[in-house]
Structure 1
Amino acid sequence: MADEYDYDLFTIGAGSGGVRASRVAAAHGARVGLAEEHRVGGTCVIRGCVPKKMLVYGAHFAEDLEDAKQFGWDVGECTFDWVKLRDNVLNDVSRIEGLYTETLENHDVDIFHERAELTGAHEITLASGKVVSAKHILIATGARPHVPGCDGHELGITSNEAFHLDAIPERVLIAGGGYIANEFAGIFNEFGAKVTIINRSDTLLRGYDHSLRDRLLQISIAKGIDFRFNAEFRGIEKTDEGCLNVSMTNHDDLEVDCVLFATGRVPNTEGLGLDAAGVQLGDKGEVIVDQFSKTNVDHIYAVGDVTDRVQLTPVAIREGQAFADTVFGGGEPVAVDHTVIPAAVFSHPPIAAVGMTESEARNKIGDIEVYQSDFRAMKNVVAGRNERSLYKMICEAGTGKILGIGMIGPESPEIMQAAAVAVKAGLTKADFDATTAIHPTMAEELVLLK
């Protein structure tokens, strides 16, 4: 590699994309340095999908223990210890962080636990004052929660702080209509909090099929979650009793104990020296890159949420892998296909989808066929829980090619992973029809759709 530089690659940010890129580049023989000012693992491992999924598991027990009575179990009086769950989750986060760090060290990646900034064409200055040079630079600094600029916004918290609460608030107001808002709404609701969601529009989970999001809204309301649509913050004030009084447009004031902002995420590009380096940024501060994750500066690349292409951990990992293989693998350039990406919302119950929604397909394709199954899971029937699942398959008329699949119901994300392979491969409804069902399962509905 290039001996005139200290490193062949220097990565800023040790999240999922940065870690994968650094490890793979090192495996290809590159000398790699990596700077992370917080903790190795990034948003997903430290304060995102990993600890959140653990809380989702914990929240499910609230209903499972109740349902168990209908299956003959006498579970007695149940109590919930938030601090115990919180600490167990945080301990496992530390364990995973250690594994990430060990993997990097085993590949001889130099880790600098401090902030880094571009201060020259190929120069990086660390917070300690140490200056290093690199032939290639990768920006993988991710994104952070957006906080509205209303009066008193500093009194609220974001998903970052939600994992460290000392207790479950009795009354929680969650701002936002996306996956983070709906996931934490389900978590706090199952833990006994009175949850209200405030959203500036009248649509939840924009981008998901209207049937799925309407079903989630119906079920959430039945579970006791309140919704205030077409509402924006006017301000937040602390009362003499230590509560929070929230004023908003189109609705009465609301007194709560906690306000959680889940109103989107902002790329972390400030203070990195990108302007001085000539790196082009978008309107939201995101790094603009081409199909190979290269910026307008030939030796500077970016992957993951900081590019604002698709803010999903598996996408960042694929982008990191493709970057390392392209720049250091010695073969043909590798571009990530950002189409037909499966995704899930770990709400209660969860939603999963891949490909086009019904509306998207009608607008883009025109002539389509829609198949669906609306049913109660067997477990819910015995438990006496009147909660229905919904599966939808969108196909191109004539050819039967599957354009998209969406579902809401227990274990939908687990089922969707395999179904996404079929959609990505371009299979047809006839291929699903020709597949023998596994009975009795929820997943069999996918091969029995009418």
Structure 2
Amino acid sequence: MADYDYDLFVIGGGSGGVRAARVAAGEAGARVALAEEDRYGGTCVIRGCVPKKLMVFASEFGELAEVGSAYGWNMTAGSFDWPAFRSHLNAELDRLEGVYRSLLKNSGVETFDARAKLKDKHTVELSTGETKTAKTILVATGGRPVRPSIPNADLGIVSDDIFHLEKLPKSILIIGGGYIACEFACILHGLGVEVTQYYRGAQILRGFDDEARGLIAESMRDRGINLHTGTNIVQMGPASDDHSAAVPTASDAAMGASAQQENVMAYGGVAAKERPGDRSGPIWVKSTTGRECVFDMVLFATGRDPNSTDMGLEEIGIDIGRRGEIVVDEYSKTAADSVYAIGDVTNRVNLTPVAIREGMAFVETVFKDNPTAVDHDLIPSAVFTQPEMGTVGLSEEDAREQEEVEVYCTSFRPMKTAFAGKSDRVLMKLVVSKASRKVLGCHIVAPDAGEMIQLAGVAIKMGATKEDFDRTVAVHPTMSEEIVTMRTPMRTA
């Protein structure tokens, strides 16, 4: 039997890789090493879910004074102190990275602060020049944001750069219509930045339920975000005295909403500076509608690609997909028997809890002799816009392509903000199989929708029927009670 340095070598110190490494070492008694070229915690902890959610919280405090006054509080809204918040944020991220390092150390995992690539099916080469051998190698390198392939794209920033800004811009153009683009549009608007958003499609949040994403778009425009659908960027460069266009205002949003022109420009990576957000000076932008504007900053939120380049994968026979994803089977094994991959680098379901589940299933399969496949069906998720969207299961559009369904839906002004005279609306929606009566999908647009959908996800994963929901007594007065009080379908499809 071959003598290896380790039983397992993990490449990538994000949530999935760390969980797999410490469980394999701590519970299965394996000799484990892990290499990470950046900060431990990965995208989620360092430049994704955690800092983003803290920014969401920060962005919501600006409305407290307005709502509080309706409830009798004499409150005055102050200004947002970005440097103070960022300092506190960095301290928290440092603390969390320390927690991840401690978890690995306490589990007996040897760590290398270095980039790693595969030399062969059992050998890892580190950027330090060292080589290490392992019986099994796990690739958990996550993903990275991409930029459009247009000249001067390096003048803009990507989502990773937001957390490193020395100061917030007065105005920003966000390119993209996915959840990252929409979340940062809401966050930055809430922090006092004038936000314009271009999306080439007809509606933001493609792939989500049409009714739910329509309400999100309406709410974003009502809040003052200058959202233009059917619009893309075609040119950009440093602004000069010749560029007389002013930064667009929220009143321009209606014009943007009517410009439903599709742009088929393919996105891809281009070389960028180490910190593209560190350059100074306004940016001139021309859109597909012919409009020219000047912004303090441009943020590209145009998708993410798997981190699989220059890792020696294809050289040892591992299949790579069209977007760079590592192709794996249901047990996360690649075409090389000794190499596995989990998380965003496989581009299956790109969510942190899924990567963690995949890491746990990998350990069960490889080190506990218990072949375990991750169930990627009926995974709850949330989009942290304002209001939030929580979703689990099929959208109405997807469900009706499979079978005849009933749609139970209600939209209303929630008590808390209605009392304050605000026009905010929420949405509660169930998509139900007409034949089996099972709830195929649940979609909530409301404050704290992410908290609600987690609990709804348990019932739907268990196969709850509409009648099971009906038998549940409502908690009153709450927004979520509407999920169990809707008796008559709005429509069948």
Q: Same fold (TM over 0.5)?
A: yes
Which aligned pairs between 1:194-343 and structure 2 lie closer than 5 A?
194-240=194-240, 242-330=281-369, 332-343=370-381
- Confirm or deny: 8 A CA contact 1:7 1:32 kept in the other structure: yes
- Confirm or deny: 8 A CA contact 2:406 2:434 kept in the other structure: yes
Aligned partners of 1:233, 1:151: CA distance in 2, in Å? Answer: 11
- What is the aligned partner in structure 2 of residue 401 from structure 1? 438
Letter of the structure 2 residue corresponding to residue 68 of structure 1: G
Which aligned pairs between 1:90-129 and structure 2 lie closer than 5 A?
90-129=90-129
Per-residue Cα deviation, 1:63-93 (whole angstroms, up to 9, x for no partner) = 1232111111112351210111111112111
Higher mean C-alpha displacement, 418-427 vs 56-65? 56-65
- Confirm or deny: 8 A CA contact 1:304 1:313 kept in the other structure: yes
Select the residue among 349, 360, 383 that pairs with 2:387. 349
- Confirm or deny: 8 A CA contact 1:151 1:234 kept in the other structure: no
- What is the aligned partner in structure 1 of residue 13 from structure 2? 14
- What is the aligned partner in structure 2 of residue 4 from structure 1? 3
- Confirm or deny: 8 A CA contact 1:146 1:266 kept in the other structure: yes
Q: Mark the runs of 5 or more structure 1 residues left unpaired by the alignment.
A: none
Select the residue among 381, 402, 408 that pairs with 1:364. 402
- Confirm or deny: 8 A CA contact 1:173 1:196 kept in the other structure: yes
Aligned partners of 1:420, 1:42: CA distance in 2, in Å? Answer: 26
Aligned partners of 2:69, 2:98: CA distance in 1, in Å? Answer: 40
- What is the aligned partner in structure 2 of residue 53 from structure 1? 53
What's the CA shift for 1:216? Answer: 0.8
- Confirm or deny: 8 A CA contact 2:65 2:77 kept in the other structure: no
Aligned partners of 2:359, 2:144: CA distance in 1, in Å? Answer: 19
- Confirm or deny: 8 A CA contact 2:239 2:284 kept in the other structure: yes
SS of 1:383's equivalent in the other structure is: coil
Per-residue Cα deviation, 1:336-395 (whole angstroms, up to 9, x for no partner) = 011111111000110010000111111011x11110121111111112111110110000
Higher mean C-alpha displacement, 395-404 vs 352-361? 395-404
What's the CA shift for 1:117? Answer: 1.2
Aligned partners of 1:155, 1:84: CA distance in 2, in Å? Answer: 26
Aligned partners of 1:359, 1:439: CA distance in 2, in Å? Answer: 31
Which aligned pairs between 1:38-77 and structure 2 lie closer than 5 A?
38-77=38-77
SS of 2:363's equivalent in the other structure is: helix
Letter of the structure 2 residue corresponding to residue 342 of structure 1: P
Higher mean C-alpha displacement, 119-128 vs 107-116? 119-128
Per-residue Cα deviation, 1:187-208 (whole angstroms, up to 9, x for no partner) = 1111111111111211211111
- Confirm or deny: 8 A CA contact 1:44 1:313 kept in the other structure: yes
Aligned partners of 1:139, 1:398: CA distance in 2, in Å? Answer: 43
Aligned partners of 2:141, 2:467: CA distance in 1, in Å? Answer: 44
Letter of the structure 1 residue corresponding to residue 389 of structure 2: I
Aligned partners of 1:319, 1:85: CA distance in 2, in Å? Answer: 34
- Confirm or deny: 8 A CA contact 1:231 1:251 kept in the other structure: no
- The two structures, once aligned, show a CA RMSD in angstroms of 1.2
- Confirm or deny: 8 A CA contact 2:204 2:229 kept in the other structure: no
- What is the aligned partner in structure 1 of residue 268 from structure 2? none
- Confirm or deny: 8 A CA contact 1:228 1:251 kept in the other structure: no
SS of 1:9's equivalent in the other structure is: strand
Quick check: 1:439 aligned with 2:438?
no
What's the CA shift for 1:3? Answer: 6.9
- Confirm or deny: 8 A CA contact 2:209 2:397 kept in the other structure: yes
SS of 1:163's equivalent in the other structure is: helix
- What is the aligned partner in structure 2 of residue 381 from structure 1? 418
- What is the aligned partner in structure 1 of residue 244 from structure 2? none
Aligned partners of 2:462, 2:60: CA distance in 1, in Å? Answer: 33
Per-residue Cα deviation, 1:251-278 (whole angstroms, up to 9, x for no partner) = 4012100100101101001111112221
% of aligned pairs identical? 46
Aligned partners of 1:89, 1:65: CA distance in 2, in Å? Answer: 24
What's the CA shift for 1:413? Answer: 0.6
Equivalenced residue count is 447
SS of 2:148's equivalent in the other structure is: coil
SS of 2:419's equivalent in the other structure is: helix
| TM superposition score normalised by structure 2 | 0.89
- Confirm or deny: 8 A CA contact 1:7 1:31 kept in the other structure: yes
Q: Which structure 1 residue ranges, 4+ long, deviate > 6 Å from structure 2?
A: none
Aligned partners of 1:97, 1:73: CA distance in 2, in Å? Answer: 40
- Confirm or deny: 8 A CA contact 2:197 2:227 kept in the other structure: yes
Letter of the structure 2 residue corresponding to residue 56 of structure 1: V
Letter of the structure 2 residue corresponding to residue 87 of structure 1: S
